[in-house]
Amino acid sequence: MKKIKIFKFLFLFLLCAASVAPLGVRAFSIISKHEADSKKEILITSFFNYRPFGYATFDSRNIGHQHSVFSKAVSQFFPKEGYLLKYKAFTSTQDAATATRQGKVDVFFGAYYASAMFEGLEFVFPAVLNNPVHLMMTPDKISQIQNLDDLKNLKGIYSQEEIFSDYMLKNFENLGIQSVSTTDDAYRMLILGDADFMLGSSYYNRICLAEKGLRGYIAFSKTPLWNMPLFFSVSKASQNSKQFSAYFKKMLSNENFKKKVLQDLKQAIEEIETQSQGVVPPMYIRQAREDEKTPADELLDQKGQ
């Protein structure tokens, strides 16, 4: 009889435990969801393909993922709790800027001031970073250039794949700098002698040169010719535009935030340069070497055979 009572007690105990546990799990999941829902979202975008400042990738399901060199620093130093920073990718920088202007996105990372693409956005001062525009030439020629006047009778180019400010594009026009459709075409023209110099961001081009195996074949001027300030810009159509502007302005006043941005920028470029070591350069490098041979070089080649 005692055994039966004990079995009944154990059965009732286990039944109660089984019924209580799921309730505890459900209550926890409801609280977690409530906490997630209570966070306000800030939707952020940036350049479609202008590394290291911003670039988008799309997975096998065609779901976009937006990346930016500013993301880590912003996550670490954002001055207001209770906000969820989310990133949205677009298939062009123009689409990303338009979506921000329309209020579909709250913030654009890296906008140029007084440029038509970013017209109508609220710019947060000061600039988060300068994008330096350098003179680019083959190493044997760049030492001959001392100032802009030395470029007057030379053929200059820039890549349409780069994102320049309207102010910079106007300077290019005044100097007679010609546009080239792709960055790879610009490098080829430079190395083969079809152009004398190129103008572009040292940050962007260090990445491109490394990935194409062209480090050492094209050199940069020691100092930039111009700087293009990059800004955090807020959509005026966003419901919380004034608050967002204030948050980003406060963050920009933090010197540690600026140091973190520069640290992440340097790290991003150096990682790509390291990963790209050993990349075989394009075939036109061989063509350039053949073109540079003198009659004496050709004679030595024949003897070597």
CATH topology of domain 131-226+279-294: D-Maltodextrin-Binding Protein; domain 2 (3.40.190)
CATH code 3.40.190.10 region(s) in the chain? 38-130+229-275, 131-226+279-294
Nearest to 221 by CA among 145, 149, 135, 131: 135
Tell me what the pLDDT averaged over the chain comes to. Answer: 86
Which pLDDT does position 214 carry in this prediction?
97
> Is the pLDDT score of 161 beyond 90?
yes
DSSP state of 147: S
Helices 183-192 and 202-211, axial angle in degrees (round to 10): 80
Strand residues in the chain grouped as ranges (E) = 40-45, 49-50, 54-58, 64-68, 83-87, 107-111, 121-137, 156-159, 178-180, 197-201, 219-220, 226-235
Mean pLDDT of the region 8-19: 44
* Under 8 Å between Cβ of 235 and 118: no
- Summarize the chain as % helix, strand, coil (round to 5): 50, 25, 30
Residue 145, classed as helix, strand or coil, is coil
Q: How many CB atoms lie within 10 A of CB 178?
A: 13
Residue 16: enclosing H or E segment and its boundaries? helix 2-38
pTM above 0.85, yes or no: no
Mean pLDDT of the region 16-22: 40
Which pLDDT does position 149 carry in this prediction?
87
> Is the pLDDT score of 22 beyond 60?
no
Q: Is 132 exposed, middle or buried (0-12, 13-18, 19+ CB in 10 A)?
A: middle
Domain 38-130+229-275 carries which CATH code?
A: 3.40.190.10
CA distance from start to end of the chain: 107
> Is the pLDDT score of 34 beyond 90?
no
Could you read off the pLDDT of 241-256 as tens digits, one per residue?
A: 999 999 999 999 999 9
> Is the pLDDT score of 11 beyond 50?
no
Could you read off the pLDDT of 39-94 as tens digits, one per residue?
A: 789 999 999 999 999 999 999 999 999 999 999 999 999 988 889 999 999 999 99
pLDDT-derived band at 147 (thresholds 50, 70, 90) equals confident
Residues with Cβ within 8 Å of 148's Cβ and at least 6 positions away in sequence, in order, are 175, 225
